[in-house]
């Protein structure tokens, strides 16, 4: 009937490919192509990739160095790659960054007086919530216990239940 | 016993209080690890004359303000008159021209005035990294021995001059 029955599915496939392609490129960002980073060993490359994911860009604060397009992030990536090529240990590079920008550059902050709330806050909230829940449940149980019926009421209850059974039988 | 029903209300106000404080904080004002430490060393060409150098040692001997700026930084333009005011108050002001081009920076100074004693030209931004610069303008108050005593991120306002910089500068001046 239709002269080119295969054209429509092909178009759909093409559109789908166009939709998917940029998405898959964005899904796993690597350093922008404008700054090719070459390393002598695979270990250096791996450490570089790990560091630029663990260190925060202080300009755009909720991005790490690999996500950020800020000029400073670019400079810091270059600096890290140079230090790695010069044979610096990962910890040395982290210390270098902390000495300049403070603990804030670490996405995994160290435990100290200023970060106790950050580290233990969630656990404290959980404990408060659990103890509130426990208190409510305990009180409710003692309320159920306090609701005992008197002799007279027991008698009436038995009679009602008995009548119910009798009615069915 | 009736007061129990007020607990959610109190909890609500406590939450509002915490969020209110949170909103009033500036997330960009990070505590600098450099305050109380030696100012990082540098030796760069000067902005106004590429053939002469400007080093950290040139700032020592007298307390001074070290101001990081760039012509592309709009806040720096607003801050600029404040630096002139500090300079008029006898505070030596030195500059670090950060990731700029020489022609843009010189045009900026020609247009808005030049309160700096000397300006280091940090085209690559490497000295900026050593000083932990991430949001121009940034200013460091450095004592006569080269120790960083105060850091301000963002624009210097008249209030900051009156309440922070000038009192601390007078105090540093009195120190031996």
Question: Which residue shows structure tokens 């105060």?
Answer: B150
Nearest-by-Cβ selection for A104 from B30, B34, B99: B30
A35 lies in the same domain as A100 = yes
For residue range A101-143, list pLDDT tens digits in order: 888 888 888 888 878 888 899 999 999 999 999 999 998 887 7
Domain count, chain A: 2
A120 lies in the same domain as A70 = no
For residue range B145-169, list pLDDT tens digits in order: 999 999 998 899 999 999 999 999 9
How far is CA B92 from each of CA B57, B59, B143, B156, rounded to the nearest angstrom?
A: 14, 9, 11, 15
Quickly list DSSP for chain A. Answer: --S-TTHHHHHHHHHHHHHHHHHHHHHS--S-TTS----SSHHHHHHHHHHHHHBBPSSSTTSBTTT--SHHHHHHHHHHHHHHHTT--HHHHHHHHHHHH-GGGBSS---STTTHHHHHHHHHHHHHHHHHHHHHHHHHHHHHHHTPPPHHHHHHHHHHHHHHHHHH-
Answer yes or no: is A20 within a domain: no
Closest CA to B79 of B162, B158, B163: B158
- Give the chain B residue nearest A73 (alpha carbons): B134
For B139, half-sphere exposure in the C-beta direction (CA atoms, 13 angstrom radius) is 25
User: Residue B87 belongs to what H/E stretch?
Assistant: helix B74-88
A101 lies in the same domain as A35 = yes
A58 lies in the same domain as A97 = yes
Sign of the C-alpha dihedral computed for residues A25, A30, A33 and A34 taken in this order: positive
> Is any Cβ of chain B less than 8 angstroms from the Cβ of A59?
yes
| Backbone φ, ψ for residue B151 (5° rounding) | -130, 135
Answer yes or no: is A49 within a domain: yes
Nearest-by-Cβ selection for B31 from A59, A99, A102: A102
pTM of structure: 0.71
A33 lies in the same domain as A100 = yes
Query: Does position B170 have pLDDT exceeding 50, yes or no?
Result: yes
Q: Which pLDDT does position B148 carry in this prediction?
A: 93
A66 lies in the same domain as A129 = no
Domain that holds residue A142: 114-147
Residue A64, beta-bridge partner list: A56
Nearest-by-Cβ selection for B129 from A79, A102, A104: A79
Nearest-by-Cβ selection for A71 from B99, B126, B130: B99
A43 lies in the same domain as A70 = yes
In this structure, what CATH number is given to the domain that contains residue A99? 1.10.8.640
> Is any Cβ of chain B less than 8 angstroms from the Cβ of A11?
no
**Is the CB of A71 less than 8 angstroms away from the CB of B125?**
yes
A33 lies in the same domain as A98 = yes
Mutate to test the interface with A, among B73, B134, B138 (most CBs of A within 10 A): B134
- Give the chain A residue nearest B132 (alpha carbons): A100
Answer yes or no: is A19 within a domain: no
A123 lies in the same domain as A96 = no
CA A90 from chain centre, in angstroms, equals: 24
CA-based nearest distance A60→chain B, Å: 9
Closest CA to B53 of B43, B66, B42, B65: B43
| Distance between start and end Cα atoms, chain A | 74
**Is the CB of B32 less than 8 angstroms away from the CB of A71?**
no
For residue range A69-110, list pLDDT tens digits in order: 888 888 888 888 889 888 888 899 999 988 888 888 888 888
Please state the domain extents for chain B: 35-174
Residue B67, beta-bridge partner list: B95, B139
> Is any Cβ of chain A less than 8 angstroms from the Cβ of B126?
yes
Closest CA to B66 of B96, B111, B106: B96
Which CATH number among 3.40.50.2300, 3.40.30.10, 3.40.50.150, 3.10.270.10 corresponds to the domain B35-174? 3.40.30.10
- Give the chain A residue nearest B134 (alpha carbons): A59
The number of residues in chain A equals 169
**Is the CB of A102 less than 8 angstroms away from the CB of B130?**
no
By the 8 A CB rule, do A38 and A73 touch? no
Task: Give the pLDDT band (50/70/90) at residue A9.
Answer: low
Enumerate residues 6+ apart whose C-beta is below 8 A from A24.
none
ipTM > 0.85, yes or no: no
Mutate to test the interface with B, among A70, A93, A101 (most CBs of B within 10 A): A101
CA-based nearest distance B134→chain A, Å: 6
A39 lies in the same domain as A77 = yes
């Amino acid at each position: 009937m239709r002269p080119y029955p295969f054209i429509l599915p092909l178009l759909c496939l093409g559109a789908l490919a166009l939709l998917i392609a940029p998405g898959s490129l964005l899904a796993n960002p690597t350093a922008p192509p404008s700054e090719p980073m070459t390393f002598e060993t695979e270990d250096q490359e791996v450490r570089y990739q790990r560091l630029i994911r663990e260190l925060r860009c202080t300009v755009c604060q909720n991005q790490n160095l690999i996500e950020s397009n800020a000029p400073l992030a670019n400079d810091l990536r270059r600096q890290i790659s140079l230090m790695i090529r010069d044979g610096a240990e990962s910890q040395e590079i982290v210390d270098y960054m902390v000495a300049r920008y403070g603990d804030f550059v670490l996405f995994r902050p160290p435990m100290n007086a200023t970060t106790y709330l950050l580290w233990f806050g969630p656990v404290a909230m959980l404990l408060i919530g659990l103890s509130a829940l426990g208190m409510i449940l305990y009180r409710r149980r003692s309320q159920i216990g306090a609701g005992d019926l008197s002799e007279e009421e027991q008698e009436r209850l038995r009679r009602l239940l008995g009548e119910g059974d009798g009615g069915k039988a | 016993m009736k007061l129990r029903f007020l607990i959610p209300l109190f909890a609500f106000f406590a939450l509002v209080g915490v969020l209110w404080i949170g909103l009033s904080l500036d997330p960009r004002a990070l505590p600098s690890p450099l305050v109380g430490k030696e100012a990082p060393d540098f030796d760069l060409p000067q902005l106004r004359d590429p053939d002469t150098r400007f080093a950290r040692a040139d700032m020592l001997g007298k307390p001074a303000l070290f101001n990081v700026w760039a012509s592309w930084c709009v806040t720096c333009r607003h801050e600029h008159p404040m630096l002139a005011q500090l300079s008029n108050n006898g505070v030596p002001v030195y500059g670090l021209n950060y990731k700029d081009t020489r022609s843009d920076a010189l045009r900026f100074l020609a247009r808005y005035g030049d309160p700096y004693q000397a300006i280091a030209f940090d085209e690559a931004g490497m000295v900026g990294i050593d000083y932990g610069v991430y949001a121009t303008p940034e200013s460091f108050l450095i004592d006569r021995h080269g120790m960083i005593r105060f850091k301000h991120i963002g624009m210097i306002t008249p209030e900051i001059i009156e309440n922070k910089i000038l009192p601390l500068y007078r105090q540093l001046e009195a120190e031996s």
